[in-house]
Amino acid sequence: DVKVTQSSRYLVKRTGEKVFLECVQDMDHENMFWYRQDPGLGLRLIYFSYDVKMKEKGDIPEGYSVSREKKERFSLILESASTNQTSMYLCASSFPLVWREGPDTQYFGPGTRLTVL
Amino acid sequence: SQQGEEDPQALSIQEGENATMNCSYKTSINNLQWYRQNSGRGLVHLILIRSNEREKHSGRLRVTLDTSKKSSSLLITASRAADTASYFCATGLGSGAGSYQLTFGKGTKLSVIP
């Protein structure tokens, strides 16, 4: 069974703090993704990585950065947390896309509900 | 950018009934995927249908894809209370700058009443 784990289920931080969200997958997947999920807005892609040390911006990268030093681990960093970053954060991983067949199935972690006060 | 849009936003049915959810999208795709999310949890993949396929089955799930209408439907037959969840469609382009990404809709919230 594919397992994607996230470091915390719930996290409470103060405005201005630096926040690290960790994601680890055990399936040797090349691709890893960070999303945020907000009511009425669905899932929005923040960043993704298709290889170690590689990263690409998603739809809403502002205020976030990422790090992928090892294949199995993808970290999301909030450099200076703000209240509008209160959200559910979801990590996912997948095998590489197959040419002309599109992106492969994504496997999600349980999510981290972050509250910034 | 939001690609897939599910319809209806919410659906309430009795246990044993069938549930149908629809997804419409705007641009050409290489595949379309459906995911389920139980309240406050991560998403779980249900089924993937490629652009050259018209229908796919998995257990009590049936997915159709009409690329000419840019739409897909997910049918859950003989629903159970455990099917209560939000259901999302996600579209994949397969080429170009967005080729790694899935773009998710906002979801349909299904409630199955025992």
pLDDT tens figures, A37-66: 998 888 999 999 988 989 999 999 999 999
Residues of chain B with pLDDT > 70, as a percent, come to 92
Q: If you ran DSSP here, which 8-state letter would residue B6 be given?
A: E
Q: Is the pLDDT of residue B84 over 80?
A: yes
Does the distance separating the beta carbons of B42 and A108 come in below 8 Å?
A: yes
Residue among A50, A58, A109 minimizing CB distance to B42? A109
Question: In the predicted model, what is the mean pLDDT of residues A17-34?
Answer: 95
pLDDT score recorded for residue A77: 98
Using CB atoms, pick whichever of A40, A43, A97 lies closest to residue B94: A97
User: Is A42's CB within 8 Å of B30's CB?
Assistant: no
Beta strands in chain A (DSSP E): 4-6, 10-13, 19-25, 31-38, 42-49, 56-57, 64-70, 73-78, 87-94, 107-108, 112-116
Indicate whether A97 pLDDT > 80: no
When mean pLDDT is compared across A52-56, B83-87, B108-112, the lowest value belongs to A52-56
Strands B71-76, A42-49: pairing is: unpaired
Digit-coded pLDDT (tens) for B15-63? 999 999 999 998 888 889 999 999 888 999 999 999 999 999 999 999 9
| Mean pLDDT score, A8-35 | 95
What pLDDT, on the 0 to 100 scale, is given for residue A40?
85
**Per-chain mean pLDDT for chain B:** 90
Given CB atoms, is B106 within the 8 Å cutoff of chain A?
A: yes
Among B34, B22, B4, B50, which residue's Cα sits nearest to residue A42? B4
Q: How many other C-beta atoms lie within 10 A of the C-beta of residue A47?
A: 23
Give the residue carrying structure tokens 């209240």. Answer: A83
Q: What's the mean pLDDT in A5-14? A: 96
> Which of B100, B104, B106 lies nearest to residue A48, judging by beta carbons?
B100
Which residue in chain A is spatially nearest to B9 when comparing CA positions?
Answer: A40
Beta bridge partners of A90: A35
In the prediction, which pLDDT does B82 show? 96
| CA–CA separation, A33 and A15 (whole Å) | 25
pLDDT at A35 over 80: yes
